[in-house]
């Protein structure tokens, strides 16, 4: 059975509540700021929103349900997407189906997290049962060790060098230089990247995202509705998600994209070669490389060669994470999973946070999330286009 397409779905009003390294506010505050920004951006009233999709790690003890009362919203459609780095695309998939089916007219998708001084450690220690039982007691203090294993394995298996990861990180930092919201805007060159202090071999400082507080959001509605409201919007051409793909791979060499990419490009009617930019999930550069390969920008196992042949800044031939990505913006919890999506919308709507990719009409967004034990379980991707 073929899946229904996403015809008639419009995405509008990408918003980012400026990130901060630490915040004394709760996640509720950040999510409320994002909702307020969505309304301000569109001129809509709160009551016009009848659907809400939420992603957050630090909302506890609340879920999306408690937020309805906190925000004073009466909704007929509500979703809570606890998928971290995949939550942006997954939230979009849910919301798109809701507006197509008429279950909701306008869905606000918001991810927001706070970062108190001790938030990150607490989030890690209770992240998942497997992490609590079989990773956290080993001193990793988070995903560093899991990604160090994956990076170590990739480097040996596929001949990837630190310089290859470095090239991606340096390009992203260049993208961030004109983005006033990026928390990390000191110039970074390859020597600085290579000379940075080691965190968990082979990972060094600039391979790791910096936890911070922040929120991102966007609206999903029908194209007719967007037009009648006079909102600029982008189209959703295709979207995929997959959870716990390839469970028998001893080390994570693939995510779910490998299973679903033909479906993604088939549904979208375009291919990787048509993309004007790629917003990849960049918690660690090895994952960026994995997405480049698996979404078909280059053949499997040839990511390193691809990196050496292309340029990834906004003005290069393969613009990647054009606002600087999480590696330069900071990782605002689950909002990190929204960042690529809202940046893709901004590029297509010609209102980027930083530099504009010239003449961008099509872009790909990819999400990856939830290091439950030794690997990320959730993968997702979407293809967006200007109307």
Partner 1 sequence: MRARPRLKNPILRTRQPLTPPMPRSRTALGLTAQAAEGRFALQRCESCGRVQYPPVDSCRGCLSEELLWTPMSGRGELLAHTTLHHSNDPFYRERLPWRLGLTRLEEGPVVVAHLHRDCPPPPAAVRVTAKLDKAGRGVLVALPADELGDMSTDPRHGEFSCDPEHRKVLVTDGKSRVGQALVRELAAAGASVIWVGQAEPWKKYEGQDAVEKLPQVTVVPLDLTDERGVKRIGAEIGGRVDILINNAEVHRTQGIADSGGAELARREMEVNYLGLLRLAQAFGPAMRARGADGGASATAWVNVLSVYALSNYPPQGTYSASKAAALSLSQCLRAEMQDAGIRVVNVFPGPIDEEWNQPLPPPKLAPERLARDIVRGLRDGVEDLFPGDVAREWLGRWKDNPKVLERELALESRTA
Half-sphere exposure of 281 (CA within 13 A, CB side): 32
* Region binding partner 1 by CB under 8 A among candidate stretches 101-109, 192-200, 356-364, 376-384: 192-200
Residue 133 touches partner 1, criterion: CB under 8 A: yes
DSSP 382: E
> Minimum CB separation from partner 1 for residue 150, in Å?
7
* Region binding partner 1 by CB under 8 A among candidate stretches 75-83, 125-133, 226-234, 270-278: 125-133
26: CB partners within 8 A, 6+ apart: 58, 114
The tokens describing 201, both together, are 């071999």
Nearest to 56 by CA among 337, 327, 330: 337
Residues 62-91 that bind partner 1 (CB under 8 A): none
The residue within the footprint of partner 1, chosen from 140, 274, 356, 361 (CB under 8 A), is 140
Query: Interhelix angle for 143-158 vs 285-294, to 10°?
Result: 50
The residue within the footprint of partner 1, chosen from 150, 245, 335, 382 (CB under 8 A), is 150
* Nearer residue to partner 1 within complex by CB, 47 or 248: 248
The residue within the footprint of partner 1, chosen from 48, 105, 152, 302 (CB under 8 A), is 152
> Minimum CB separation from partner 1 for residue 380, in Å?
23
Residue 132 touches partner 1, criterion: CB under 8 A: yes
Task: Map residues 357-376 to x or -, x wherever contact with partner 1 holds by CB under 8 A.
Answer: ----------------xx--
Residue 125 touches partner 1, criterion: CB under 8 A: yes
> Minimum CB separation from partner 1 for residue 343, in Å?
29
The percent helix, strand, coil of the chain (3-state, each to 5) is 40, 20, 40
The residue within the footprint of partner 1, chosen from 82, 141, 271, 316 (CB under 8 A), is 141
Residue 116 touches partner 1, criterion: CB under 8 A: no
Widest CA span in the chain: 56
Element (H, E) at 366: strand 362-371
> Minimum CB separation from partner 1 for residue 286, in Å?
11
Residue 338 touches partner 1, criterion: CB under 8 A: no
* Total site size for partner 1, rule CB under 8 A: 38
The residue within the footprint of partner 1, chosen from 63, 103, 153, 302 (CB under 8 A), is 153
Residues 227-266 that bind partner 1 (CB under 8 A): 247, 250-251
The residue within the footprint of partner 1, chosen from 65, 117, 134, 190 (CB under 8 A), is 134
The tokens describing 30, both together, are 């950040």
Q: What is the 3-state secondary structure (H, E, C) of 211-242?
A: ECEEEEEEEEEEHHHHHHCCCCEEEEEEEEEE
The tokens describing 262, both together, are 């033909």
The neighbour count for residue 75, using CB atoms within 10 Å, is 18
The residue within the footprint of partner 1, chosen from 110, 135, 229, 234 (CB under 8 A), is 135
DSSP 48: G
Contact 58, 36 (CB under 8 A): no
Q: Is 365 helix (H, G, I), strand (E, B) or coil?
A: strand
The residue within the footprint of partner 1, chosen from 68, 100, 144, 274 (CB under 8 A), is 144
* Region binding partner 1 by CB under 8 A among candidate stretches 66-74, 82-90, 123-131, 165-173: 123-131
CA trace torsion 111, 115, 118, 119 (10° rounding): 0
Q: Is 251 helix (H, G, I), strand (E, B) or coil?
A: coil
Nearest to 64 by CA among 94, 85, 20, 44: 94
* Nearer residue to partner 1 within complex by CB, 76 or 129: 129
> Minimum CB separation from partner 1 for residue 196, in Å?
11
The tokens describing 102, both together, are 């008429």
Residue 10 touches partner 1, criterion: CB under 8 A: no
Residues of the shown chain interacting with partner 1 in the complex, contacts defined by CB under 8 A: 120-121, 124-125, 129-130, 132-142, 144-146, 148-150, 152-153, 156, 197-203, 247, 250-251, 373-374
């Amino acid at each position: 059975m073929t899946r229904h397409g996403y015809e008639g779905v419009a995405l509008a009003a990408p918003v980012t509540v400026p990130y901060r390294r630490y915040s004394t506010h709760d996640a509720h505050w950040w999510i409320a700021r994002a909702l307020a920004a969505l309304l301000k951006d569109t001129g809509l009233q709160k009551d016009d929103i009848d659907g809400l999709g939420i992603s957050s790690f630090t909302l506890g003890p609340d879920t999306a349900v408690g937020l309805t009362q906190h925000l004073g919203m009466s909704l007929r459609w509500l979703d809570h997407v606890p998928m971290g780095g995949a939550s942006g695309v997954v939230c979009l998939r849910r919301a798109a189906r809701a507006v197509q089916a008429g279950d909701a007219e306008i869905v606000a998708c918001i991810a927001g997290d706070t970062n108190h001084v001790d938030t990150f450690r607490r989030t890690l220690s209770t992240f998942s049962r497997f992490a609590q039982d079989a990773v956290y007691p080993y001193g990793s203090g988070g995903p560093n060790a899991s990604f160090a294993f994956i990076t170590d394995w990739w480097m040996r298996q596929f001949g990837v060098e630190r310089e290859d990861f470095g090239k991606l990180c340096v390009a992203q930092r260049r993208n961030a230089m004109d983005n006033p919201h990026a928390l990390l805007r000191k110039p970074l060159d390859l020597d600085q990247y290579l000379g940075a202090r080691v965190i968990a071999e082979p990972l060094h400082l600039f391979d790791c995202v910096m936890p911070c507080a922040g929120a991102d959001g966007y609206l999903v509605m029908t194209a007719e509705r967007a037009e009648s409201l006079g909102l600029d919007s982008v189209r959703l051409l295709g979207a995929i998600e997959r959870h716990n793909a390839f469970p028998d791979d001893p080390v994570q060499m693939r995510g779910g994209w490998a299973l679903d990419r033909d479906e993604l490009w088939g549904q979208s009617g375009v291919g990787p070669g048509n993309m004007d930019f790629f917003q990849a999930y960049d918690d660690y550069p090895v994952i960026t490389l994995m997405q480049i390969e698996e979404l078909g920008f280059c053949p499997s196992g040839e990511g390193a060669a691809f990196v050496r042949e292309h340029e990834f800044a906004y003005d290069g031939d393969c613009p990647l994470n054009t606002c600087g990505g999480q590696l330069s913006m900071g990782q605002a919890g689950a909002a990190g999973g929204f960042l690529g999506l809202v940046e893709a919308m901004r590029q297509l709507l010609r209102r980027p946070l930083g530099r504009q990719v010239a003449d961008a009409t099509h872009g790909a967004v990819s999400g990856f999330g939830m290091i439950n034990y030794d690997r990320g379980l959730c993968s997702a991707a979407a293809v967006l286009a200007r109307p």
